Amino acid sequence: MRSVVDGYIADGLFSRWNVMLLSSHVEGRFSLRLAAGVKAYLCLLGLLLTRRVGLVHCHVAMKRSFWRKSLFALTSRMTRVPVVFHLHGSETKVFIEELPALLKRLVGWILAKQSVVVALSKGWSQYLKSISPRANVEVIPNYVSLPELDSDVSGGRDLNVVEVLFLGAVGARKGVYDLLPAFRDASAQVPSLRLIIGGKGEEDRAQALARKLKIENRVVFAGWVNGEAKEDLLRRARIYVLPSYNEGLPVSLLEAMSWRIPVISTRVGAIPELVREGIDGLLIDAGDRAALSAAIIELAQSAELQQKMGIEGRLQVERNFSKPVVFPRLENIYRSLLSPKNVS
Q: Each residue of 133-164: pLDDT tens digit? A: 999 999 999 999 899 987 665 555 666 889 99
Rounded average pLDDT over 115-142: 95
Closest CA to 269 of 252, 246, 292, 298: 246
Q: What is the DSSP secondary-structure string of 196-225?
A: EEE--BSHHHHHHHHHHTT-TTTEEEEES-
Q: Quick count: other Cβ atoms within 10 Å of Cβ 263?
A: 27
With respect to residue 64, please indicate whether it lies within any of the assigned structural domains: yes
Q: Check residue 62 and give its pLDDT.
A: 86
Report d(CA 229, CA 233) in Å as an integer.
Answer: 7
Q: Check residue 241 and give its pLDDT.
A: 98
Q: Check residue 344 and give its pLDDT.
A: 44
Residues 77 and 56 reside in one and the same domain: yes
Report d(CA 111, CA 203) in Å as an integer.
Answer: 37
Closest CA to 142 of 332, 278, 20, 2: 2
With respect to residue 149, please indicate whether it lies within any of the assigned structural domains: no
| Long-range pairs for 323-329: beta carbons < 8 A, 24 or more residues apart | 323/11, 323/143, 323/144, 323/145, 323/146, 325/143, 326/140, 326/141, 326/142, 326/143, 327/11, 327/13, 327/143, 329/138, 329/140
Q: Each residue of 190-247: pLDDT tens digit? A: 999 999 999 999 999 999 999 999 999 999 999 999 889 999 999 999 999 999 999 9
Closest CA to 48 of 38, 56, 39, 57: 56
With respect to residue 148, please indicate whether it lies within any of the assigned structural domains: no
CATH number, domain of 303, equals: 3.40.50.2000
Total domains present in the chain: 2
Report d(CA 221, CA 167) in Å as an integer.
Answer: 10
Residues 111 and 171 reside in one and the same domain: no
With respect to residue 154, please indicate whether it lies within any of the assigned structural domains: no
Report d(CA 161, CA 237) in Å as an integer.
Answer: 9
Q: Quick count: other Cβ atoms within 10 Å of Cβ 181?
A: 18
Q: Check residue 6 and give its pLDDT.
A: 86
Q: Check residue 199 and give its pLDDT.
A: 94
With respect to residue 155, please indicate whether it lies within any of the assigned structural domains: no
Q: Check residue 157 and give its pLDDT.
A: 63
Q: Each residue of 293-327: pLDDT tens digit? A: 999 999 999 999 999 999 999 999 999 999 999 99
Q: Check residue 130 and give its pLDDT.
A: 96
Q: Each residue of 231-276: pLDDT tens digit? A: 999 999 999 999 999 998 999 999 999 999 999 999 998 999 999 9
Percent of the chain scoring above 70 in pLDDT: 96
Residues 105 and 17 reside in one and the same domain: yes
Q: Provide the β-strand partners of residue 194.
A: 163
With respect to residue 270, please indicate whether it lies within any of the assigned structural domains: yes
Q: Check residue 179 and give its pLDDT.
A: 98
Q: Which residue range forms the structural domain that includes residue 335?
A: 2-143+323-342
pLDDT at 343 over 50: no
With respect to residue 247, please indicate whether it lies within any of the assigned structural domains: yes
Residues 169 and 137 reside in one and the same domain: no
Residues 198 and 301 reside in one and the same domain: yes
Residues 112 and 206 reside in one and the same domain: no
Q: Check residue 17 and give its pLDDT.
A: 93
